[in-house]
Structure 1
Amino acid sequence: MASVLGAALLAAMVVAQVASGLQPRPIVLTSVVVLLLAASALAFASATHSPARAVAAFTAVVAAGYAAEWVGIRTGVPFGDYHYTGVLQPAPGGVPVIVALAWGGMGLAAHAVAAAVAPGSRAARIVTGALALTAWDLFLDPQMIRLGLWVWHDPGPYRDVPLSNFAGWLLVSLLVMALLEGVLTEPTAWSTGLVSIYTVMAVMETIGFAAVFVPPDPLVATAGGLSMGLFTLLAWRRGRRRPPSAEEGRA
């Protein structure tokens, strides 16, 4: 049942994401997309690892993401100097809750990609998952800057995003993957649902930047599409040779 719920939430996320791409200022729908993403990831993780482990893993990543952002806006470490504009609410301590939830949802999805790509090595899963999660930010930061959700104090070369941001993302993502490896009882379990979330985000963001957003941005579409696309293809190619989790198999 958890996998069916996850699929329904993922379908709703796609609808919300399409709608958000057609709006000139889709702030509310952007938050809805993240909420559906997080809920779908939690449901799929419950089907693969058990509800208790899924909640524990999700909570750990949300807490790590929130802590990194809280430190980041005060010190500039590890991402660089930036601040949130106040558009996203609620934001206790200056960090929007929706941002922490995004870390949780995509953290689980990126870890599932790593579990499919490198099931035999814990170290390889941590590095692969961190790279897969960082690849998502090639889309995320340019899109959120467009929407005026945060501002970089010293704009960088990639659509005003400094390179320090991606170094910081990689560092925090390594921590996130290490946490998931420690919390999940079966860190190598193959979850088609979680990998589907990562796949959908890769496809939708590529289409959005290539043809939907005004103006379109071929650079971001190419950079993000190739990066997330590589991990997507590797995950499906290697993961399809393995059976799904017990509950996913029954669904």
Structure 2
Amino acid sequence: MTAAATHLAVPPVRRAVPLVLAGALVATAIAYPLSSGAARDVVSWTIVLLGSALSVAHAGLSRGARTGAGVFVLVALTAVVFESIGLATGYPYGTYTYSDTLGPTALGVPFLVPLAWLMMAWPSWLLGELLARPVRASFRRAARIAWAAAVFAAWDVVLDPQMVHAGYWTWADPTPGLPGIGTVPLTNLAGWLLAGAVLMTLLDVLVGRTRVGGSPRVGPAAPLFALGWMTLGGALAHAGWLGLPGSAAWGAGLGAAVLVVLAVQHRRAGRR
């Protein structure tokens, strides 16, 4: 093993950290539809804390400590800016209010919200990177950002109705919405696409400037597993336990569409 390889190697114990966090996240997510009241609030906090820890740990282990720290700061600041503007003006998401259940706030934004962005943002960027691999090199960065922003917004298609159902926030006018989802307006989806495009562009620049040579040093399996479970597992929970068939259908459909794209890419790559 060369000196460079030794420098880049991640000890097996540290390499296992994202997998352990992803496993704990999935186990906690399974508990969500089976709980209620104050216990469900605790489960929600735990899911977000585990998901944000997974994002930071994986970013740091796979691309270096500077990237891990940068992801945490960048996503948290971007979330607070977008959410505080949204609360004050109704743009770009529409008019909504948070409940007191989410606890302490900064500029009116509960601390839990930037952590939820963090939970969602890094896996979305990783999946965008994977989906953009077949694209011609000159267009790959734009494709990576576009895919990542779309995944980021699609994840919220499942998450937002669940959070409204739990009473964590309320929309002043939830219509028009996606077919089957009567509690969240289409303006929210448009807002998430805009926020996602901005955030993923910033993340792309950050990773490009801070990553260590030879990265990624750890594969994306753990964050992508968490993303897949939170989308497809969330859809199952919505259909079977939470009484949210509309968001269940959207989650299953969007998740299946991504899987089909990945399968087609894999098949084409195998023919080369």
Q: Could you tell me the TM-score, scaled by structure 2's length? A: 0.82
* Partner residue, 2:237: 208
Instruction: State the match for 2:221 in structure 1.
Output: 192
Runs of 4+ in 1 over 4 A off after TM superposition: 186-190, 235-242
User: Is 1:29 aligned to residue 43 of structure 2?
Assistant: yes
Q: Is the 8 A contact 2:149 2:193 kept in 1?
A: yes
Q: Which of 130, 142, 162 in structure 1 is aligned with 2:185?
A: 162
Counterpart Cα distance in 1 of 2:263 and 2:207: 21
Q: 2:109 aligns with which of 89, 95, 101?
A: 95
Alignment partners' CA distance in 2, 1:142 and 1:175: 23
**Could you tell me the percent identity over the aligned residues?**
30
Alpha-carbon contact 1:2-1:46 (below 8 Å) kept? no
What is the aligned partner in structure 2 of residue 153 from structure 1? Answer: 172
CA separation of 1:233/1:49 partners in 2, compared to 1, >3 Å: closer, same or farther?
Answer: farther
1:240 to 1:89, Cα distance in 2 relative to 1, 3 A: farther
Structure 1, unpaired ranges of 5+: 243-251
Please list, as runs of the form range in 1=range in 2, the aligned pairs for 1:61-210 lying within 5 A after superposition. Answer: 61-119=75-133, 120=137, 121-156=140-175, 157=177, 158-185=181-208, 189=216, 191-210=220-239
Checking the alignment, whether the CA contact within 8 Å between 1:136 and 1:228 is kept in structure 2 is no
Query: 3-state DSSP class of the match of 1:184?
Result: helix
RMSD: 2.3
SS of residue in 2 equivalent to 1:83: strand
Larger radius of gyration: 2
- SS of 2:91's partner is coil
Instruction: Assess if the C-alpha contact under 8 Å between 2:56 and 2:71 holds in 1.
Output: no
1:234 to 1:46, Cα distance in 2 relative to 1, 3 A: farther
| Alignment match, 1:226 | 253
Equivalent pairs counted in the alignment come to 240
Q: Deviation string for 1:11-43 (max 9, x for gaps)?
A: 111121111210123112101101001111211
**Normalising by structure 1, what TM-score?**
0.88
- Tell me the distance in 1 between the aligned counterparts of 2:59 and 2:267: 18
